[in-house]
Amino acid sequence: MSFFKKLKEKVTKQTDTVTEKFKDGLTKTRDNFSNKVNDLVSRYRKVDEEFFEELEEILIQADVGFDTVMELVEELRREVKRKNIQDPREVQAVISEKLVEIYEGAGEVSTELNIQPDGLTVILFVGVNGVGKTTTIGKLAHKFKNEGKSVLLAAGDTFRAGAIEQLEVWGERVGVDVIKQGAGSDPAAVMFDAVQSAKSRKADILICDTAGRLQNKVNLMKELEKVKRVIEREVPGAPHEVLLVLDATTGQNAMIQAKTFKEATDVSGIVLTKLDGTAKGGIVLAIRNELEIPVKFVGLGEKMDDLQEFNAEQYVYGLFADVVEKEAEEEEE
């Protein structure tokens, strides 16, 4: 059975809704990336050095990241040689297979959230302003609430004008209380109040917003450390997740942000927003491979339920949906 047929079977075992969301959400990247790969495959009669060089360019343009592209193409060269592949069309399935391998092979890390079965789970959100942090917090609160969990939000971004109000709007929309203090107050004090409140209400999940001013990196990082210390003191072992929100449309800039935050705090997972708004969805692979941090959620649209748990197979299916469908159908005939 070909890789494409196996991939189709795997994704159809999951819900159709999820498959459709990944397929629709990755339309721009698919149109950019897969169409170029299709064009490349149709123009070449044999797999030679020129073919690999063009493929490198296509991958770099999709923001897969230079180091990741070099590794991937080297792997493809080896695989093509090993399997003695002459027909460029056969390389498409190998590319897809290697993309899944890159994601799953960069150290075994779970993409599931570290939710505590008993007691309070504290999730800390970090990231620069404008990446969609507050919106993501709102959508995640909505997801937990739908699962029957009691949720509280902490308005820890006390510096950005309107940040507290923005979180309150989401709180109202989702039906979740927001613990806050006045603008300009100490974020660590807000976290202390929020943890006390979450404990007294026996809440399941506390989601904490934080400031995102990267201009003054040292102060921001000190502030994050202080916030973490307060949380840890009140809830041993917390925060259970530190989720870094990145905007997929900023491409390599998102990588720079990820490196900065990784230096300052123990980022346990990435939330990649606006993946549906970029033609460079290869950034998912660059982050996973070069930073070894799992992408735990992706934003695939504006709706409340468009924040989806990341799944490597669904992602690769989304990238190659048209080819996967075509190949799987041909194999069945």
Q: 273 a known binding residue? A: yes
Q: 143 a known binding residue? A: no
pLDDT reported for residue 106: 54
Local confidence pLDDT in tens for the 333 residues of the chain? 577 677 777 777 776 788 889 999 999 988 888 889 889 988 998 899 999 999 999 998 888 888 889 988 998 999 899 989 888 888 888 888 888 787 776 555 677 899 999 999 999 999 988 899 999 999 999 999 999 999 999 999 998 889 999 999 999 999 999 999 999 899 999 999 999 999 999 999 999 999 876 556 777 778 888 999 999 999 999 999 999 999 999 888 888 888 888 887 889 999 999 999 988 888 888 888 888 888 999 999 888 889 999 988 888 888 888 777 776 676 665
Q: 127 a known binding residue? A: yes
| Token digits of residue 156 | 């820890």
Q: 209 a known binding residue? A: yes
Q: 134 a known binding residue? A: yes
Instruction: Output the CA torsion 40→46→49→52 (10° steps).
Output: 30
Assigned CATH class of 3-109+315-332: mainly alpha
Strands 205-208 and 241-247: unpaired
For 34, which DSSP code? I
Q: 274 a known binding residue? A: yes
Q: 105 a known binding residue? A: no
List the one residue out of 325, 331, 332 whose CA is nearest residue 8: 325
Q: Tell me the longest C-alpha to C-alpha distance in the chain.
A: 69
Q: 229 a known binding residue? A: no
Read off the pTM.
Answer: 0.90
For 130, which DSSP code? T
Q: 275 a known binding residue? A: yes
| Token digits of residue 191 | 């976290």
Q: Where in the chain is the domain with CATH 1.20.120.140?
A: 3-109+315-332
106 CB-near residues (< 8 Å, 6+ apart): 288, 289, 292
Q: What is the residue type of 311?
A: N
Q: Which long-range contacts (CB under 8 A, 24 or more apart) does 214-221 make?
A: 214/128, 214/257, 214/260, 217/260, 217/264, 220/264, 221/263, 221/264, 221/265
Q: 177 a known binding residue? A: no
Q: 280 a known binding residue? A: no
CA-CA distance, 52 to 46, in Å (whole number)? 11
Q: 260 a known binding residue? A: no
Q: Where in the chain is the domain with CATH 3.40.50.300?
A: 121-311
Residue 308: which H helix or E strand, with range? Answer: strand 307-309
CA-CA distance, 38 to 157, in Å (whole number)? 46
Q: 27 a known binding residue? A: no
Helix extents (H) in the chain = 3-13, 16-25, 27-29, 35-43, 49-61, 66-82, 88-105, 133-146, 163-174, 187-200, 217-234, 252-264, 283-291, 312-332
Assigned CATH class of 121-311: alpha beta
CA-CA distance, 115 to 113, in Å (whole number)? 6
SS3 call for 272: strand
> Any idea how long the chain is?
333
pLDDT reported for residue 285: 84
Q: 242 a known binding residue? A: no
Q: 132 a known binding residue? A: yes
DSSP string for residues in 223-256: HHHHHHHHHHHHSTT--SEEEEEEEGGGTHHHHH
| Token digits of residue 271 | 């939330």
Q: 17 a known binding residue? A: no
Q: 109 a known binding residue? A: no
